[in-house]
């Protein structure tokens, strides 16, 4: 939840909506992610401390997975954690027969788009305008083979 409170501009869901979501729904999502069939969550941990998180799910479009909810604790940034999480997502997607991974990133989120471009993602040219003048989210995509290193 820290990611929604502290860096709200960069995520689609709001803290208020997430906090209002019933516990049963959170438990169902967690169970689904734990099974890892159609969605998953990777946590980067050091001892008992969770330093980063990323989610991924199989997209409606066949052969494609969507990377979501990437966040690294500010105290652990620029240590390669997000890059490691991208690699984990790519391996998970490859094991499920995907050849593409896509994601959306806010146009003003330079650390994120630099991370994704360095990892191998490229802009598709598609973008979505956010309400209330909050700017644009751009769609990025990569071939799984370019992400698994």
Ligand X SMILES: CC(C)(COP(=O)(O)OP(=O)(O)OC[C@H]1O[C@@H](n2cnc3c(N)ncnc32)[C@H](O)[C@@H]1OP(=O)(O)O)[C@@H](O)C(=O)NCCC(=O)NCCS
Q: Exactly one of 40, 100, 102, 109 binds ligand X (CB under 6 A); which one?
A: 109
- Residue 98 neighbours by CB under 8 Å, 6+ apart: 58, 63, 64, 65, 144
Q: How far is the CB of 14 from ligand X (least distance, A)?
A: 15
Question: Is 118 a residue that touches ligand X (CB under 6 A)?
Answer: yes
φ/ψ of residue 59, rounded to 5: -80, 160
Which of these segments, 12-20, 34-42, 89-97, 113-121, binds ligand X (CB under 6 A)? 113-121
Question: Measured from the CB atom, is 31 or 78 closer to ligand X?
Answer: 78
Tell the burial category of 93 from Cβ atoms under 10 Å away from its Cβ (0-12, 13-18, 19+).
buried
What token pair was written down for 125? 């040219």
Tell me the CA distances in angstroms from 63 to 20, 33, 57, 123, one per residue in order: 33, 19, 11, 19
Q: How far is the CB of 111 from ligand X (least distance, A)?
A: 3
CA distance 102 to 104: 7
Q: How far is the CB of 10 from ligand X (least distance, A)?
A: 4
Which residues from 37-96 bind ligand X, rule CB under 6 A?
Answer: 70-72, 77-83
Q: How far is the CB of 8 from ligand X (least distance, A)?
A: 10
The count of other CB atoms within 10 Å of the CB of residue 24 is 8
Binding mask 10-29 for ligand X (x = CB under 6 A): x-------------------
- CA 55 to chain centroid: 5
Question: Is 100 a residue that touches ligand X (CB under 6 A)?
Answer: no
Question: Is 111 a residue that touches ligand X (CB under 6 A)?
Answer: yes
For binding to ligand X (CB under 6 A), which residues are involved? Answer: 3, 7, 10, 70-72, 77-83, 105, 109, 111-112, 114-115, 118
């Amino acid at each position: 939840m820290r990611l929604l409170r502290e860096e709200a501009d960069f995520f689609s869901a709001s803290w208020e909506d997430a906090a209002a979501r019933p516990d049963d729904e959170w438990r169902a999502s967690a169970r689904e992610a734990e099974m890892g069939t159609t969605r998953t969550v990777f946590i980067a941990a050091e001892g008992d401390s969770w330093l980063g998180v990323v989610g991924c799910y199989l997209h409606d479009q066949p052969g494609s997975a969507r990377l979501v909810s990437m966040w690294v604790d500010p105290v652990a940034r620029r240590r390669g954690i997000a890059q490691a999480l991208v690699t984990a997502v790519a391996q998970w997607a490859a094991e499920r027969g995907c050849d593409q991974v896509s994601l959306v990133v806010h146009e003003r989120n330079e650390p994120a788009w630099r991370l994704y471009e360095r990892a191998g993602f490229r802009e598709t040219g598609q973008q979505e305008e956010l309400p209330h003048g909050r700017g644009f989210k751009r769609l990025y995509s990569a071939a799984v083979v370019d992400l698994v290193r």
